[in-house]
Amino acid sequence: MLIPEQQLPTVIGLTGAYGVFILIYAYYFYRRVKTFADYNVAGRTMPLVPMILTIIGTSVGGATLLGLMANAYSTGISQLWMVFPLIAMVLTLTVFFVKRLRQAGDRHDLYTVGDYAVVRYGPLARYPAAIANLVALSALTGMQFVALATILELLFDLDTTYGILIACAFLTLKTYLGGFTSVVWSDAVQGTIQTLGIVALFIAVYLLSDGWGGALENAWASGQEALFELGNISPYQIFLFTFTLGAAGLVRQDFWSRIWAARNLDTTVRAYWWSVGLLLLTGLLVVLIGVFAKVGLGIVTDQPAMIYYQVTREAMPFWFFALMLVTVMATVVSCADSFFIAAASTLVSDFIQPAFRNASDRQLLRYSRLSVILMALVSLALALAVPKLIQLWITGSAILVSSLLVP
């Protein structure tokens, strides 16, 4: 267990208060969501700032924050090559597709990638797009169940299976209540916590490391100068990430939902441009924190995956660790509910709605909430059954890209 016994009540109280706040926030939107469009694309009314933060929220999850920092601790700033494909994907989406997709969405009242495939290629194109998205998003949602369970295990020594069940119940209830409207507005809160938390952690680590010069000097003195070499990574790793996880983002439902959720075209375009810059900054800071932890703070560990917790627990005062704990939980939750609602929207829009063409808006809203429960069961099964869910994520992402080439 990561927390000393005397500090455990404080951490339990903080974690509980955060969870209760998120659920109350979701319930507030439960009472405001009245239509199918409200639930699945936030009524197409979202302003700029929440749009920016929700794009950041769906792009930077627990795997990005914890995994990227761990890899940077082990191999150095070459991990920026894992950031660049994500930036290239969002930039490509912004420059070439956002405007066209938004205009098509307004013209044809689109909700999903499958809806667009029907307009562009015909009815049969819906199913490759929808099935591929469901595979990838189910795996991604299951990964976030595991990520939250891992946090609970580290903090409270809770069995992983129980942690996954708790994470599933919490995220299902949150998403069921408020749908995409709740996701966007809670991302406005959690995205702010996430961004400010990462910036604060970098500043603290940077100052404790005596800046760039101090870290570089320590690296040379200890024979670890390779940590500051951008080419310290295999081309295969770059290729794999670029053409699976990076390219998949171009056709992933959670990104497309945000294109159609903003209140107008100008807001959509501006939100994506802002996101490009903020994602680059976030990725850069996460990588540098990992590198500085090793050569600046001198933290030695045989578990790089734990480096985020070791930096915040060993090198920082308890109050700062508590803030960073909220940061990592906000990061995981903001990403998880984005995948969750995207999968549910795909299920209801691409399979249920075409089968029940005469369903009323009220019925479709009810089917949307039931789809959240169904996707929860699928993602829960994956999280419990697949020991290395990251492999399923990569496979699902590869399917997501290749299947959309069928039309």
Is position 2 within any domain?
no
- Beta-carbon count within 10 A of 318 CB: 14
For the segment 50-54, the average pLDDT, to the nearest whole number, is 93
User: Nearest Cα to 231, choosing from 74, 79, 83?
Assistant: 79
Instruction: For residue 357, name the pLDDT band (cuts at 50, 70, 90).
Output: confident
Are the C-beta atoms of residues 289 and 205 closer than 8 Å to each other?
A: yes
Interval 57-78: pLDDT, tens = 888 877 778 888 988 998 899 9
**Residue 223 phi, psi dihedral angles, 5° rounding:** 70, 25
Q: What integer pLDDT is reported at residue 385 of this predicted model?
A: 83
Segments forming the whole domain that contains residue 113: 13-403
Q: What is the mean pLDDT of the chain?
A: 88
Is position 1 within any domain?
no
Which amino acid, 404? Answer: L
CATH number of 300's domain: 1.20.1730.10
Q: What integer pLDDT is reported at residue 225 of this predicted model?
A: 84
Which amino acid, 394? Answer: I
Q: What is the CB-side half-sphere exposure of residue 239 using CA atoms within 13 A?
A: 3
Whole-model pTM above 0.95? no
Is position 3 within any domain?
no
| H runs (alpha helix) in 76-125 | 80-92, 98-108, 113-121
In the predicted model, is pLDDT for residue 398 greater than 70?
no
Are the C-beta atoms of residues 360 and 35 closer than 8 Å to each other?
A: no
Is position 373 within any domain?
yes
Is position 278 within any domain?
yes
How far is the C-alpha of 67 from the C-alpha of 297, rounded, in Å?
19
Q: Give me the number of domains the chain comprises.
A: 1
Is position 97 within any domain?
yes
Structure tokens at 47: 């302003």
How far is the C-alpha of 407 from the C-alpha of 404, rounded, in Å?
7
Is position 392 within any domain?
yes
Chain centroid to Cα 206, Å, comes to 26
Is position 8 within any domain?
no
Contacts (Cβ under 8 Å, ≥6 apart) of 188 = 49, 50, 53, 54
